[in-house]
Structure 1
Amino acid sequence: MTDGITGGITDEGIRESEEIDRRVEELMAPEEDDGNGRKKKKRKKKREAGEKKTGLIKRIKGWSRRRKILTAAGVVVIALLAGSKLGGGGKSPGIMVDVMPLAKQAIQEKLSLSGPVSGTDSVDVVSNIHAEIVTMNVKEGDQVKKDQVLAVLDSTDLEREVQIAQNAYDLAVNNKQEKDKEAALGYEKAVQDFQKASLDHSRNSQLFASGDISQMEMEASANALNDARRAMEGYTVENGRGRADKSYDIQIENARFDLEKKKEELENTQIKSTIDGTVVRVNSKVGQFADKVEDDKPIFSIENLEQLELEIKVSEFSIGKVKVGQEAVISADILDGGTVNGEVIKISPTGEEKGGGSTERVIPTTIRVDGQDTKLIAGITAKAELLIREAEDAFVVPTTALLDEGDTTYILIVQDMKIKRIPVTLGVDGDVSVEVIPADDTVLEEGMQVVMNPGPHLMDGTDVIVRPQ
């Protein structure tokens, strides 16, 4: 006969299996009245009278020891429940429950969110000048300073355009100067003509009054005076001097604008960095047009990597728990299980769509990474863990031990083998566990037996059996 734990059968195992067979048969046997209102088992001969029952018992005897034990336990539970409902006066032994002792402990509520790591200052260098790149002065990884020349474009066409614009501007200035001279001389003559016409009209008025000239001559004198006045008033006058009209000033301004624009474009053929930082991307090369980078990417991407930041998007339902100055613990795969510290430095004043068809809004929040000598690099994803609140020496239960019935949340404890519901408010939420505070005058005590997976069928006073640990 074989022994051991590798599948052998011992004499003791055979005896236990036969005993289990006997108990299962007894549990499955119908009961008969003994005349005194008590039930007793029928004898084996009668139990095995039916063909179906005989076949079932044979099958049971062919089961493994483990299966017989599990089946016997199940039959016992069913028999107990059936007895409690149909026994006629027999008291129910109660519902089996799992419990855990209530205990005090420290608990923390944390908010964990992931986001991209980037430099505190970054810029995408682009160009709208349609010219070929003739020189590339930097490569990825190079440190650069503000106003450093990164690349040079072909400037031949722009130099010619600058010269044309300069000529147009000079011509506009010269034209105005000539018109100013003409206007000054013309206005001076118009003033003299008006003065002469005024004297003539004054003299003719005296002659007409004495009857020495005719009405027609008097009217001709008045008309000449009016013509001289209109000619004089037709000039633009500045500081008593005639000058060209405003249109010539506008021509000069337009020509100046075109010239400055062309000069700026010529200057921009030297592509410069606008910040101190590191060149993290180069998306073009010599011979390509500056305004035609593949996939509309920038020519260069530059970031200040001396100070890193992490941007997370906090749900509108949690943003009220996040404050500027709040500490964060940052983790990432690149840190090989380590962490670095950070601090919330900015919370966006507006939310944005979460995406994915969700109506929830999220608020961009920036966390500054403390220290410059970390393994973190820009462009990777990291996780920030924010400590929202914590409690010491608090009564804590698993979230599965809560019974939520709408307006009221309960924990259930076992006292004298009966259920007692205790309404609670929730304190610090530790994700898988939570702080509980009585909502009535109940005093919680360490060691109370808390039901681990309560259901709505467990009411106050329900009889229960505590499953042995």
Structure 2
Amino acid sequence: MKNPLKNVSKKKKTLIIIGGIVVICIIVSFIKPKSDASQGVLVSAGTVSRGNLSQTISIKSTVEGSDSANVFSAANYRINSVTVKEGDVVQEGQILARLDADDLTDEYNKAKISYDEAKRNYDNSKTLYEEGALSQSDYLEAKAAYDTSALTLSSFNITENANVTSPIAGTVTRVNATVGKLANGGSGSSSEPLFVIENLDNLQMKVKVSEYDIGKIKVGQSATITAEVLGDVSVTGVVSHISPTGEARDAGGSEMVIPVVIDIDKGESNLIAGVTAKATILIDEVADVLTVPIDAVFEDPSTGETSVFIISENDTLTKVPVNIGLEGDFDTEISAADESGSALLTEGARIVLAPSYELADGMAVTVM
């Protein structure tokens, strides 16, 4: 026989559960947030600022001496001695290495003997020709032999060919010459220079500026130079030369770049040649102007009109037409396009970031 008290207990539990659910639903209905319609369109906000703004172009390149020379030898003799080391300051014409000139001397002596013999033969042939005792063809043959031997002898400049000298004044930055090594005459692409001489008193950077930016670059523009070797210190530079022609950025690419030279004033800094540095070229700058983030500017695609949306204290929008001035990396200079906008476009005013096409005057918004 079933126990009636047990059935009553089950019904009571069921009623309690149902009642609890109803209470929860009532509470949820009171705390449920307002609908999106009553909130208005969700927007992100920024502010109008007042300050200074600059436009720059930054490019990385290697710091070099303003003048440099790769030194080769025209004579392929063994190196007897190297007279300089890296870091030495040298003058134009100073001897950097001496070559083994024994072979050169032997060749010179042979050429001298040939010259002397050709000269005696020429002198005798000339006398006989003038006396009518020698044909013109024999005389001209002797003269040609003499001219050839004289030219050969003059090419044997022992002092010049036996010494490797610096073509410029500067600092020795590389020494590839070693005693006993052949001087490896010639400056073909497969040979390395015996020495590299650079003028480190005057440093420069040769940067490649994109064809899309070159129109902004002018000779005389200032640049700020930074590098790891400088730490938190920077030095100044100035654009000194813009190439009249462009070149391909990459072997298979279509974008062109234009070489630009920046002279560096390193001052008392420890900036050295051969390191990578960044040159930030100042294109233009303005002071004490109103600025907004670049993405706050709305451009109407049908009219080209630019504007910003001001957010009022009661979270409604006012569309303010603006004129765009200098554009920096993140912010842009603006000014009101009319007098009515000037009253609204003030420092600290809230503006919509990344405005969409659905925004309009008087629209209620909710700032995220």
TM over 0.5, yes or no? yes
| Unmatched runs of 5 consecutive residues or more in structure 2 | 1-20
Decide whether aligned partners of structure 1 residues 23 and 174 sit closer, same or farther in structure 2, where only a CA change above 3 A counts: farther
Following the alignment from structure 1 to structure 2, what is the Cα–Cα distance between the partners of residues 115 and 276? 24
Following the alignment from structure 2 to structure 1, what is the Cα–Cα distance between the partners of residues 81 and 136? 56
Q: CA deviation at 1:403?
A: 3.0
Match of 2:206 among 292, 296, 311: 311
Decide whether aligned partners of structure 1 residues 23 and 179 sit closer, same or farther in structure 2, where only a CA change above 3 A counts: farther
Matched, 1:454 2:355: yes
1:103-114 to structure 2, matched below 5 A, reads 103-114=49-60
Moved more, 378-387 or 305-314: 305-314
Q: Contact 2:238 / 2:263 at 8 angstroms: preserved in 1?
A: yes
2:98 is matched with 152
Matched, 1:301 2:199: no
Task: Please say which structure displays the higher CA radius of gyration.
Answer: 1
2:125 is matched with 179
Question: Per-residue CA shift, 1:397-434, capped at 9, x if unaligned?
Answer: 11121234557263331467655545545321210111
1:308-457 to structure 2, matched below 5 A, reads 308-355=203-250, 357-404=252-299, 406=301, 408=304, 410-414=306-310, 419-437=317-335, 443-444=341-342, 445-446=345-346, 448-457=349-358
Decide whether aligned partners of structure 1 residues 23 and 382 sit closer, same or farther in structure 2, where only a CA change above 3 A counts: farther
Matched, 1:256 2:150: yes
Q: Contact 1:332 / 1:381 at 8 angstroms: preserved in 2?
A: yes
Q: Contact 1:114 / 1:382 at 8 angstroms: preserved in 2?
A: yes
1:167 is matched with 113
Q: Contact 1:112 / 1:383 at 8 angstroms: preserved in 2?
A: yes
Decide whether aligned partners of structure 1 residues 172 and 95 sit closer, same or farther in structure 2, where only a CA change above 3 A counts: same
Following the alignment from structure 1 to structure 2, what is the Cα–Cα distance between the partners of residues 404 and 250? 84
Q: Contact 1:402 / 1:409 at 8 angstroms: preserved in 2?
A: no
SS at match of 2:67: strand
Q: CA deviation at 1:364?
A: 1.7
Following the alignment from structure 2 to structure 1, what is the Cα–Cα distance between the partners of residues 64 and 326? 32
Following the alignment from structure 2 to structure 1, what is the Cα–Cα distance between the partners of residues 24 and 208? 63
1:279 is matched with 172
Match of 1:80 among 36, 52, 73: 36
Match of 1:126 among 72, 77, 83: 72
Q: Please state which structure has a larger fraction of its residues in helix.
A: 1
SS at match of 1:176: helix
CA RMSD of aligned residues (A): 3.4
SS at match of 1:177: helix
The one-letter amino acid of 2:156's match is K
The one-letter amino acid of 1:464's match is A
The one-letter amino acid of 2:151's match is F
Q: Contact 1:94 / 1:462 at 8 angstroms: preserved in 2?
A: no
Q: CA deviation at 1:284?
A: 2.9
Percent identity reads: 33
SS at match of 1:377: coil
SS at match of 2:365: strand
Q: CA deviation at 1:159?
A: 0.9
The one-letter amino acid of 1:307's match is N
Following the alignment from structure 1 to structure 2, what is the Cα–Cα distance between the partners of residues 111 and 137? 44
Q: Contact 1:307 / 1:369 at 8 angstroms: preserved in 2?
A: yes
2:48 is matched with 102
Q: CA deviation at 1:465?
A: 1.1
Q: Contact 2:225 / 2:278 at 8 angstroms: preserved in 1?
A: yes
Q: CA deviation at 1:261?
A: 2.3
Q: CA deviation at 1:281?
A: 1.2
Following the alignment from structure 1 to structure 2, what is the Cα–Cα distance between the partners of residues 328 and 157? 54
Following the alignment from structure 2 to structure 1, what is the Cα–Cα distance between the partners of residues 98 and 330? 59
Decide whether aligned partners of structure 1 residues 432 and 250 sit closer, same or farther in structure 2, where only a CA change above 3 A counts: farther
1:270 is matched with 163
Decide whether aligned partners of structure 1 residues 346 and 80 sit closer, same or farther in structure 2, where only a CA change above 3 A counts: closer
Q: Contact 1:408 / 1:423 at 8 angstroms: preserved in 2?
A: no
Q: How many residues align?
A: 339
Decide whether aligned partners of structure 1 residues 347 and 250 sit closer, same or farther in structure 2, where only a CA change above 3 A counts: farther
Following the alignment from structure 1 to structure 2, what is the Cα–Cα distance between the partners of residues 424 and 248? 92
Following the alignment from structure 1 to structure 2, what is the Cα–Cα distance between the partners of residues 413 and 368? 45
Q: Contact 2:119 / 2:146 at 8 angstroms: preserved in 1?
A: yes
The one-letter amino acid of 1:256's match is A
Following the alignment from structure 2 to structure 1, what is the Cα–Cα distance between the partners of residues 349 and 191? 67
Q: Contact 2:58 / 2:279 at 8 angstroms: preserved in 1?
A: yes
